[in-house]
Structure 1
């Protein structure tokens, strides 16, 4: 009897990629390919940030500090064996839920959203960022203890684990992060061998759920973002301004771009958030289509490496977690590029390792630290 591709991923991947001895990189628990690719992307990020921020050296230095913290976190997490992560996964998940609940009571309000908790002596933290890792870890932990492909009951229980934190993040409100958290959990289910009839049923049920969310869950400004996607010119000076200016910057770059430091949309401040969510538009204006293709190629190499690590690992928990981290990384890129290009609503998702911002960088680096831990602690 032939097995479907998802089930082969879940059950047979350990037959591939076996090695006989540990290399120096494995002994120090560092994956050289991931490290080189991450260093390359971070170098590109600093380069375009210097231009997109109107050559703000202080901002570039702060970004360098964020990279330094991120790489440190990544290397530390790579030293911890996956078995220890698996042991403490439920505690990490429950802690994340508790922090999300506390946000509703003692959270700080910034820019109309309550997403941060101030911890004396530590500073502000954003609990929703923890769930970007806590969610796939918990789903992988839960499903790894059950027969795969998962039964209907296991799927339903996993969905409960996903829905609770997603709703807590969505009501902050933070639609972009809630979608990323949901995707990280759904990917674990998919890689565990979710039957296609369940996938089809989920897609069918998604239609009334979207209608319900539109009517009762989304805020007015979120509905405006969705409507603006289809007709940004209808409010060119208001809600449609971001998309119009980002498209203008992308189109102005052409094939080879205007040249480094020669972009006008960001330098003349026509492009809003040109150093954060819309930095790919500033990059495209200066380096053109060829530059964007090169950047996407590097991203693709990172994704392929992450999925390879997942595919060759013999342990179910590690395999599901690695695959979900890789696919979640793809969602980051897809959503950001899609919203900047006017294909998706603006939801505030940064471009990984390129957009300015420390919290997202550290979270992403932590995810790659988990990948390195999974790969280099693999049993021979």
Structure 2
């Protein structure tokens, strides 16, 4: 029996016990460590209390861990077959936000399900990568070079991006576009096509500026000159800079941060939680957290390189890139090198949908790892 055939038959007949044994437990430990950092910071943000944030986050992480393991154990071919269905269901949820969405912090982005406020745009970040990986798996390199074959994936990207932009949510819109761009690039789309899109985007900036809301324009102007409105739009940035500077090398100590505990630092439990960590644990603590994220990203990209089918490869790369964008944009935002766009820090910031979506994404990456030796045909069957 040829080696490839043996590997494929072994994956097809893999028992549940074998799949559990194949789980990447190093990845699970990393996720638990990052979540542990989040629990500690939420405990500190509440001045030494597990309520209201740390206890809820612990329950959500426990649920997310179960979801991640279930997703990981499901055959990767099922995610291939139902990728488009998941995408259109997510697109339907985005459309439902316009009809029955609830408003929070001046934007209409959530659907209230009673037990959780679902943010469909977070779900779409994973669904879009699933759909794009499914499409490019069945397209040859010759076809990718033809512009007509890019119309379908472009439509898959533009539809949710337009709905999210209408909410309005510039940060998530940017992440959708950048995450999709990573899949396009890794699928083999030529660099000059990205250059055309980039030049076109730059040319459209003056037009797009006219359609921005006033608070969005204020964020951009504050980013360019934080001191222009220190008690208004620039307040977040200035307080974050003070917190970063006061943390120095070793920090002020756990629960000893003055900017956060004296309530100078806004949104300390969500978007600006990294600032609170930097104040309490300094440069050393910040680099430690960055190290954990680096290892998590390394796992994601390493799994992509080991996958023997294009779908799993593109899915892992897309989801790992999505994680990188979360971390990069959040940290750049709170350090004042990027406009404030409301992107949470994965597994650390308080939030329901973002946490569960991230755990689902990690489950998909693990499913790609468990079934890494499987070759998938265009129809989703195992090739011999």
TM-score for the superposition, normalised by structure 2? 0.89
State the Cα RMSD in Å. 2.0
Residues 195-218 of structure 1 deviation map (CA, whole Å, 9 limit, x = unaligned): 1211222221120133322122x2
The 3-state SS of whatever aligns with 2:260 is coil
* Alpha-carbon distance in 2 for matches of 1:314, 1:212: 44
* Alpha-carbon distance in 1 for matches of 2:338, 2:116: 33
Partner of 2:66: 72
CA shift, 1:43, in A, is 1.1
Q: How many residues align?
A: 361
Partner of 2:98: 104
* Contact persistence 2:268–2:276 (CA under 8 A): yes
* Contact persistence 1:25–1:31 (CA under 8 A): no
CA shift, 1:350, in A, is 0.5
**4+ residue runs of structure 1 moved beyond 6 angstroms?**
20-25
The 3-state SS of whatever aligns with 2:141 is coil
CA shift, 1:26, in A, is 4.2
Partner of 2:81: 87
* Alpha-carbon distance in 1 for matches of 2:292, 2:39: 16
* Contact persistence 2:312–2:372 (CA under 8 A): no
Of the three residues 310, 334, 356, the one matched with 1:316 is: 310
CA shift, 1:156, in A, is 3.3
* Alpha-carbon distance in 1 for matches of 2:92, 2:269: 33
Partner of 2:156: 161
TM-score for the superposition, normalised by structure 1? 0.90
* Contact persistence 2:116–2:352 (CA under 8 A): no
CA shift, 1:25, in A, is 6.9
* Alpha-carbon distance in 1 for matches of 2:115, 2:260: 34
Of the three residues 175, 180, 191, the one matched with 1:180 is: 175
Q: Please, which runs of 5 or more residues in structure 1 have no aligned partner? A: 1-13
* Alpha-carbon distance in 1 for matches of 2:151, 2:293: 33
Residues 129-174 of structure 1 deviation map (CA, whole Å, 9 limit, x = unaligned): 2201110011111111111262222233312210110110110112
Of the three residues 127, 137, 144, the one matched with 1:134 is: 127
* Alpha-carbon distance in 2 for matches of 1:198, 1:292: 37
Residues 220-246 of structure 1 deviation map (CA, whole Å, 9 limit, x = unaligned): 111110110011111000000000000
Partner of 2:139: 146
* 2:34 aligned with 1:41: yes
Partner of 1:294: 288
Q: Please, which runs of 5 or more residues in structure 2 have no aligned partner? A: 375-384
> Structure 1 stretch 246-255 or stretch 38-47: which is displaced more?
38-47
Partner of 1:238: 232
> Structure 1 stretch 362-371 or stretch 103-112: which is displaced more?
103-112
Partner of 2:332: 338
* Contact persistence 2:19–2:73 (CA under 8 A): no
Partner of 1:213: 208
